[in-house]
Each structure stands twice: as structure tokens, then as C-alpha cells.
Amino acid sequence: MTVQARWRKSSYSGGDEGECVEVADLNGHVGVRDSKNPDAGHLTLTRRDFAALLTRLAQRTA
């Protein structure tokens, strides 16, 4: 049985801003994809690497 991933848009993605990402729980990993082009595929990260990515991005915007 294949389970469909539940993709959700980032809370930082606004209405018409154009830079939107979606994330999904992928059985212990995190999927990240472009919400404007979901059929292009996604990046799969471990939860630890996803947390590190978020930390790094937060540092860049601070």
C-alpha cells in the first residue's frame, strides 16, 4: 500500500510572492519541494539535516 505524502505550504510563503516551498513528512524524513512546480520532484532530508537547514536559513535572514 502506497501512502500519499501530505504536502503543506510554508507559513512564510505568501500569496503572490513567487518563492513558495512545501514540506511533507516522509516516514522519518522531510520532503521539500517547489509549490509552483510539484511534479518536478522534491529534496529528501533527514530530520536532523532539515533542522540544520532551517537554522542556517534563519541565520542568513537575521
Number of separate domains in the chain: 1
Task: Please check whether residue 49 lies inside any domain of the structure.
Answer: yes
pLDDT by 10s per residue, the chain, length 62: 456 889 998 776 666 666 788 999 998 899 999 988 989 999 999 999 999 999 998 898 76
- pTM of the model as a whole: 0.77
Q: How many Å apart are CA 56 and CA 18, to the nearest integer?
A: 21
Structural domain that includes position 48: 26-34+41-62
Task: Please check whether residue 5 lies inside any domain of the structure.
Answer: no
Q: Which residues contact 3 (CB under 8 A, 6 or more apart)?
A: none
Task: Please check whether residue 55 lies inside any domain of the structure.
Answer: yes
Task: Please check whether residue 46 lies inside any domain of the structure.
Answer: yes
The pLDDT value given to residue 13: 65
Task: Please check whether residue 13 lies inside any domain of the structure.
Answer: no
**59 exposure class (CB count in 10 Å sphere: 0-12, 13-18, 19+):** exposed
